[in-house]
């Protein structure tokens, strides 16, 4: 009887051991499958990231550690070594500009974050000078198989040239508007000055006429001048047309610009003059 009991116990122990070994082998097989699946997923993620037509990177964990960054992204950041570093470690110069906070908020809230032409002061490469650049970017929460947030996918576009080109155009337009306003103001001042001069002509206590060009065409003739010559002086008509009777009296050929001697001239007055 004791022999039978011993045999039964031995059989049970053997079966338990065999079951344990089988379970261990199954667990090892499942673990290997999971590791292979994970490796394939990561390799696929790297391929997708590298082949993306935009700058793209993957950040892991609440510290936002760079896991993957494609060549376009590395070009934007000046090919500085970033893989394995957190964003804070890779870009300490952007502290206080709100970028860390946007990443933290995206990671904790699970909400996608957009930015359009976001200004950032950053060094383009290791040891480079700080400069203001502009980025369009999207921060997308990255979820694991259970739906928990495990990281962030960032898609970035360098908008610096676009912003700067628009600024040049806007500056040129503003300068054009400024010059146009100055020209308009100068024209208005010239018109006001001319209007003032005409009022002075019209109200002057002496006879005044303004002649233009080599044909001496009347531009302005004030009332006292019209009264003096006894004729209606029409702007645009020449002295010869208004005073044809002065021909041969030396008036038309008198071209000195200073006050000359008195000349005697015969004028014909209109009726009533």
Domain boundaries, the chain: 1-39, 52-158, 165-202, 204-255+263-273
Are residues 209 and 233 in contact, defined by beta-carbon separation less than 8 angstroms?
A: yes
> pLDDT tens across 182-224, in order?
999 999 998 888 888 888 877 888 888 888 888 889 888 888 8
CATH fold of 52-158: Beta-Lactamase (3.30.450)
Exposed (0-12), middle (13-18) or buried (19+): which is 188, by Cβ within 10 Å? Answer: exposed
Task: Name 66's bridge partners.
Answer: 59
User: Under 8 Å CB-to-CB from 123, ≥6 apart: which residues?
Assistant: 78, 93, 129, 130, 131
pLDDT of 257 strictly over 60: no
b/e sequence 122-158, b meaning 16+ C-beta within 10 Å: bbbeeeeeeeebbbbbbbbbbeeeeeebbbbbbbbbb
Which of 22-26, 112-116, 194-198 ranks highest by mean pLDDT?
A: 112-116
Do 52-158 and 204-255+263-273 show the same overall fold? yes
Report, as an integer, the average pLDDT of 85-112. 95
| pLDDT > 90: percent of the chain | 40
**Structure-token match 């040891």, residue found:** 127
pLDDT of 273 strictly over 50: no
The answer for 265, left when phi > 0, alpha when psi is -120 to 50, beta otherwise, is beta
Tell me the pLDDT band of 113, cut-offs 50, 70 and 90: very high
Residue 221 C-alpha from the chain's centroid: 56
What own/partner pairs with CB < 8 Å and gap ≥ 24 does 140-145 have?
A: 140/106, 140/112, 141/106, 141/107, 141/110, 141/111, 141/112, 142/58
Of the two residues 140 and 30, the one the predictor is more confident about is 140
Q: How many Å apart are CA 91 and CA 80, to the nearest integer? A: 10
Task: Name 68's bridge partners.
Answer: 58
Q: How many Å apart are CA 76 and CA 74, to the nearest integer? A: 5
Q: How many Å apart are CA 37 and CA 89, to the nearest integer? A: 31
Indicate the range of 98-107, 138-147, 197-206, 255-264 predicted with least confidence.
255-264
- 3-class secondary structure, 213: coil
Q: Please report the pLDDT score of residue 62 as a whole number.
A: 96
pLDDT of 262 strictly over 60: no
Instruction: Say which DSSP state 54 is in.
Output: S
Report, as an integer, the average pLDDT of 33-39. 63
pLDDT of 18 strictly over 80: no
CATH of region 204-255+263-273:
3.30.450.20
Q: How many Å apart are CA 50 and CA 71, to the nearest integer? A: 7
pLDDT of 83 strictly over 90: yes
Of the two residues 9 and 27, the one the predictor is more confident about is 27
Q: What is the pLDDT of the chain when averaged over all its residues?
A: 82
Of the two residues 246 and 93, the one the predictor is more confident about is 93
Q: Please report the pLDDT score of residue 272 as a whole number.
A: 47
Tell me the pLDDT band of 261, cut-offs 50, 70 and 90: low
> pLDDT tens across 232-246, in order?
788 888 888 888 887
Report, as an integer, the average pLDDT of 70-81. 89
């Amino acid at each position: 009887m004791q022999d039978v009991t011993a045999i039964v116990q031995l059989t049970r122990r053997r079966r338990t051991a065999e079951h344990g070994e089988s379970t261990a082998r199954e667990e090892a097989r499942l673990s290997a499958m999971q590791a292979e699946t994970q490796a394939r997923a990561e390799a696929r993620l790297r391929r997708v990231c590298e082949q993306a037509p935009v700058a793209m990177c993957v950040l892991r964990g609440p510290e936002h550690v760079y896991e993957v960054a494609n060549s376009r992204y590395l070009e934007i950041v000046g090919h500085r070594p970033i893989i394995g570093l957190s964003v804070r470690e890779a870009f300490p110069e952007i502290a206080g500009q709100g970028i860390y906070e946007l990443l933290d908020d995206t990671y904790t809230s699970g909400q996608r974050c957009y930015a359009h032409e976001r200004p950032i002061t950053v060094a383009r490469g290791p040891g480079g000078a700080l400069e203001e650049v502009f980025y369009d970017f999207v921060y997308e929460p990255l979820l694991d198989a259970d739906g928990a947030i495990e990281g962030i996918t960032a898609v970035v576009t360098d908008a610096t040239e676009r912003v700067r080109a628009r600024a040049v155009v806007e500056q040129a337009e503003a300068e054009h508007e400024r010059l146009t306003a100055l020209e308009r103001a100068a024209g208005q001042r010239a018109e006001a000055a001319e209007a003032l001069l005409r009022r002075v002509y019209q109200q002057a206590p002496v006879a005044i006429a303004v002649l233009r060009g080599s044909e001496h065409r009347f531009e302005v003739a004030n009332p006292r001048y019209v009264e003096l010559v006894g004729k209606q002086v029409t702007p645009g008509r020449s002295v010869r047309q208004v005073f044809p009777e002065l021909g041969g009296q030396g008036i038309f050929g008198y071209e000195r610009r200073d006050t000359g001697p008195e000349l005697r001239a015969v004028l014909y007055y209109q009726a009533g003059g």
